[in-house]
Structure 1
Amino acid sequence: MFATYQTIEVLDLADELAEMINQSEAMSEYHSAKRQLMTTPVTQEKIKAFATMKERFDEVQRFGRYHPEYKEINRETRRLKRELDMDEVIMTFRQAEMGVQSLLDQVGILIGESVSEQVKVPVGNPFFEGKRRHGGGCSTGGGCGCSVG
């Protein structure tokens, strides 16, 4: 492939965009939340306990309800999962993750629409699906009310 001036310019602009995303408030919050997640001993203990129980659950799952410890391990796994979900540090981390995902979805949609309205951009947030003329996943040929271009 030969590098043309346009190709180099697009690559430079892509690098600028990546740097802007890395310097964004959403990314800063994400890194802060991740650092907090990795350095909070109580949260790390909960994660390790859940991972261990999840391994036991996977072993028991092979036999299903017929395994003698199925109910107890299933119940304990769900309890530990709830504990993880309710942990303040983990909730903050997940919110920060969603913030970064939202930013990336917005950028992807803007880039896709700048190329063409018919470009389908996969997004991780259903909120953005409605912002597009066609989200790219109805597979009904326009039966959902989208305009299939």
Structure 2
Amino acid sequence: MIGTLEYVEILDHSEKLGKMVLESDVMEAYTQSKIALNQDEEAKKLIKAFNDMKSHYEDIQRFGRYHPDYNEIMKKVRYTKREMDMHEKVASFKIAERNLQKLLDEISQYVALSVSEQVKAPKDGAAFTDSGCGCGSGGACGCAS
């Protein structure tokens, strides 16, 4: 019975924490920048152009440098990404997204450390990256754990 009441209390606190995040200035900035991005036709075109170019990039990745259009596609991908990233609404959204991720990481870290020093929590957006070794195996290779 006590375990059940403790779980209910933990869930109540979790809901309160979630509500605090949803009502935060950081979340408000994220929401506003996302709305502004979704309403900007030029930004939509730039995002679509980048996604189309990215699909070409994925096609040539099977062959790598040996693909005849490798250098041209690589230049175009970098150019379209830069063009997209330099757009005011896209840049604002990315900043707001990073700030929200930072807030969520800080909360995760705080909760984890309140349980134990040994509990691991995502840090610096690490939930969306591999182990950092660069091989993409998530640390299974043993080069970083």
Please, what TM-score do these two structures have when normalized by structure 2?
0.78
Q: Distance in 2 between matches of 1:120 and 1:3?
A: 24
Question: Percent of aligned pairs with the same residue?
Answer: 41
For residues 1-55 of structure 1, the C-alpha deviation after alignment (integer angstroms, 9 at most, x for no partner) is 9972221111111111111111111011001111111111001100101111111
Report the equivalent of 1:144. Answer: none
Report the equivalent of 1:66. Answer: 66
Point out 4+ residue stretches in structure 1 off by more than 3 angstroms.
Answer: none
Report the equivalent of 1:45. Answer: 45
Residues 51 and 125 (structure 1), Cα distance of their counterparts in 2 relative to 1, 3 Å cut: closer
Give the 5 Å matches for 1:1-149: 4-124=4-124
Q: Distance in 1 between matches of 2:60 and 2:121?
A: 40
Q: Distance in 2 between matches of 1:36 and 1:69?
A: 36
Root mean square deviation, CA, Å: 2.3
Q: Distance in 2 between matches of 1:6 and 1:124?
A: 31
Q: Distance in 1 between matches of 2:63 and 2:4?
A: 60
1:20 partner SS:
helix
Residues 2 and 48 (structure 1), Cα distance of their counterparts in 2 relative to 1, 3 Å cut: farther
Q: Distance in 2 between matches of 1:125 and 1:3?
A: 33
